[in-house]
Chains A and B, each alone.
Chain A
């Protein structure tokens, strides 16, 4: 192995980010990839707290949102005063805002760990959300703060008007922040964050103040959340008070958890997937949030290491060549899983049609098939799919875990033999 081998994934990431707009070149795709860019930064910054340091924050959007507001104000001030400041440095305004408020609020909230920390973060989130409705000058009331990204100093004739230019700006910041946050995990403090997560008491007895470790991690996380908020402000050219509220704070938790908080790559997977679902699923169904919620519950119950964990647990199997031995078992559960999935979707969509779109009459389409939502046959089909799929899956799932454990055992013994 080359000693620079650790650079390979990063080079690959740069190449992918550069080429993506050529593969997915539609306007909608480029917008979606821009959203993914700052969602990744936001989710990774959240995971510096939850996954790395063991702090569950219910108010992380405070730093994202305030970073966004300050960036929008800065853009307006720069445009009004014709200051010679180019747009690409403006996310730094968001970052420094996030950092400042993290210092202020973190000083209070990191005095406690565990549940007390979570409750304080929730309280601060509510406090800032309440302020956003009262302080109309700063938060802009109902209408929010509008801005224009094109009124700043132009470098090399780049106006940042076209979305593709904004994509590359967001992509560059995203790569930079990803690298910086990864590097953070490889520093003495980053390692002590893990130690504090695992066993805060022992960390105190090897010379570290757990409060100080939590505080610094909180400030760094606040900085990156602010950068993400700043990029969001540049992308949307408007910031409204809803960005500091409980909804985005919960959303970032979903992104990190669904992707997997135990791995650096987990929140990246979560951010990409959730953005994809939010944009594309909402085109197909009004009940998309229900699917996201069900997915979250399923991940918490059956895949506590997240989707990233599900992928990574197959890595030793792949490298030892025992992966194909689990495939028959996976094929076996594919049919009942598909039945459950189809039954679930049919149930949700049919109910959604009957309850929400009652005025449109019972005729509806799903997967390109037209049917009557109030026909008894549909409901028989739903029950059959759910019951038969559920029973089969329950019967067959022990076989899957058996096959997986056997394959993993083989992979481990091969590695020991090697």
Chain B
């Protein structure tokens, strides 16, 4: 589904981010097309999670431009960015632990259904919110755990719920931060199937360490090293890119060829 000529879902133009005097993101350029599944890979400390935080409004950028569907979202708080159709998950599970699984999802759908800050609707009578939440629960396979407090779910279930909350609002740009981190082989396979299903027809940006997941899912891959994107290309070409191998794997291309 790669369409390098298509419209951009997300663009970062010469983005810088400093923490104090320490530069973390140093002139990052990224262009994610609408409808593609785009993976960001890179060694630890390259700035992958920071990039997510900058795009989702958790941190402001120090300089540069962030465009969501062609419009600048610089300096906007997370909730305004979310309302423009961008939703993200977190590397460390970030759910509502005392609310039930169903309620966790429902929190994710309320704004997109136009309930806003309503205290004049009764939630039990809001059929659209219930039906949409139940459909999401079905999608992420947690229907049987509907009324359990989210805090007591197993780790893999919490990761699935994390994705469920992220997609609940129907955002068309979905960003997943290491969705399979800490999962077993079979759990990872299940999660990849789930991610493929829920990102159908949407733009997906994913940070992931598991290379089999990346090469399985991504239409294009960007390699982030020391706060800069050193290459963006299809999985096949990234695999053969000498600069990527040297920077990311820490070995000269010729040696890894012999390995």
**A192-B107, A199-B96 known; A207-B123 Cβ under 8 A:** no
List residues 97-145 of chain B with CB under 8 A from any CB of chain A: 97-99, 103, 106-108, 110-112, 115-124, 126, 129
Residues of B contacting A101 with CB < 8 Å? Answer: none
Q: Is B34 an interface residue (CB 8 A)?
A: no
- Are A194 and B88 in contact (CB-based, < 8 A)? no
Contact with B along A204-244 (1 / 0, CB 8 A): 11111100110010001000000000000000000000000
Alpha-carbon distance between A195 and B110 when the two chains are bound, in angstroms: 12
Q: A205-B82, A207-B83 are in contact. Are A188 and B95 (CB under 8 A)?
A: no
- Report which of B98, B119, B165 forms a contact with A206, defined as CB distance below 8 A: B165
With a cutoff of 8 Å between Cβ atoms, the chain A residues found around residue B83 in the complex are 207
Rounded to whole Å, the gap between the CB of A263 and the closest CB of chain B is 12
Judge whether A187 is part of the interface by a CB distance below 8 angstroms. yes
Is A394 an interface residue, CB under 8 A from the partner?
A: no
Q: How far is the CB of A213 from chain B (nearest CB, A)?
A: 7
A192 CA / B118 CA spacing, docked (Å): 10
* B96 and A195 form a contact (CB under 8 A): yes
Count of interface residues, chain A, beta-carbon cutoff 8 Å: 27
Partner of A209, one of B77, B95, B96, B169: B77
CA A203 to CA B168, docked complex, whole Å: 13
Task: Check B111–A198 contact: CB distance below 8 A.
Answer: no
Residues of A within 8 A of B165 (CB): 202, 206
Looking at A187, A201, A205, the one whose CB has the most chain B CB atoms below 10 A away is A205
- CB < 8 Å A-B pair total: 98
0/1 string, B153-181, CB within 8 A of A gives 1: 00000000000010011000000000000
B37-80 contacts to A, CB under 8 A, are: 56, 58, 77-79
User: What separation, in Å, do the CA atoms of A191 and B126 have in the docked complex?
Assistant: 13
Kindly state the separation between the CA atoms of A191 and B111 in the bound complex, as whole angstroms.
Answer: 12
A213 touches B82 (CB 8 A): no
Alpha-carbon separation in the docked complex, A161 to B19 (Å)? 68
B168 proximity list for chain A (CB < 8 A): 206
Q: A187-B118, A212-B117 are in contact. Are A202 and B123 (CB under 8 A)?
A: no
A209: nearest residue on chain B (CB-CB)?
B79
Q: When the two chains form their complex, are residues B99 and A208 in contact, meaning their CB atoms are under 8 A apart?
A: no
Q: When the two chains form their complex, are residues B123 and A205 in contact, meaning their CB atoms are under 8 A apart? A: no
Nearest B residue to A180 by beta-carbon distance? B119
Verify if A418 is at the interface (C-beta below 8 Å from B).
no
Which residues in B have their C-beta under 8 angstroms from that of A197?
Answer: 98
Nearest-Cβ distance from residue B125 to partner chain A, whole angstroms: 9
| Interface residue? A183 (CB, 8 A) | yes
Which chain B residue lies CB-closest to A191?
A: B123
Whether A189 pairs with B117 at a CB distance below 8 angstroms is: yes
B94 within 8 Å of A (CB atoms): yes
Contacts of A37 in B (CB 8 A): none
Residues from chain A with a CB closer than 8 A to the CB of B199 are none
Please, which residues of chain B bring their CB within 8 A of the CB of A220?
A: 119
Contact call A199/B95, Cβ cutoff below 8 A: yes
Roughly how many angstroms separate A186 CA and B107 CA in the complex, as a whole number? 13
> In the bound complex, what is the Cα–Cα distance between A184 and B118 (angstroms)?
10
A191/B106 in contact, CB under 8 A = yes
Q: List 17 contacting pairs A-B, 8 Å CB cutoff, sorted by A.
A: A183-B122, A186-B124, A187-B120, A188-B117, A188-B121, A189-B119, A194-B98, A195-B96, A197-B98, A199-B97, A202-B90, A202-B95, A205-B82, A205-B87, A206-B79, A206-B165, A207-B169
Q: 7 other contacts beyond A202-B90, A202-B96, with CB at 8 A cut-off?
A: A188-B115, A190-B119, A191-B110, A194-B99, A206-B108, A206-B165, A207-B79
The 10 closest A-B pairs by CB, nearest first: A207-B111, A188-B115, A198-B96, A204-B78, A189-B119, A187-B119, A207-B82, A195-B107, A188-B118, A206-B108
